[in-house]
Amino acid sequence: MAGIAMLICLSGYGDELRVWTSINALFFTGALAMAMPSIFAAMRDWRADRWIGKFSYPAYLVHMRVMRSEGEVRTIGRRIAKSGSR
């Protein structure tokens, strides 16, 4: 069922690479929503999936802190560069 919906979604692309239409987006979203329970059931016992989850959750928790710190480091670097060029 999801495969058929996916084919319908991708049928909007021809040789001239037409733009993504709203009906294709609706079909794709619906197909993905219908496929999610079976995808989850198939993948929940995968060791790789658990490893990715164990890695991604801590990364999710700290990524904003890292981004904020990186921005502060750049700001400090610019201030130092400006003061050194005077």
Measured in Å, how far apart are the chain's first and last C-alpha atoms? 68
CB-count exposure of residue 70 (10 Å: 0-12, 13-18, 19+) = exposed
The token duo for 7 is 């084919």
Q: How many distinct structural domains can be found in the chain? A: 2
Same structural domain, 65 and 36: no
Same structural domain, 1 and 40: yes
Per-residue pLDDT of the chain (86 residues; tens, 9 = 90+): 556 656 665 655 554 456 667 777 788 888 889 999 998 888 888 888 888 888 888 888 888 888 777 777 777 777 777 776 55
The token duo for 76 is 């400090």
Q: Counting every residue, how long is the chain?
A: 86
Same structural domain, 57 and 68: yes
Same structural domain, 62 and 80: yes
83 lies in which domain range?
Answer: 46-86
How far is residue 56's CA from residue 5's CA, in Å, rounded to a whole number? 30
Same structural domain, 38 and 69: no
Residue 10 has a pLDDT of 61
Same structural domain, 50 and 38: no
The token duo for 75 is 């700001």
Same structural domain, 12 and 35: yes
pTM: 0.38
Query: Cα dihedral angle (15, 10, 43, 52), rounded to 10 degrees?
Result: 60
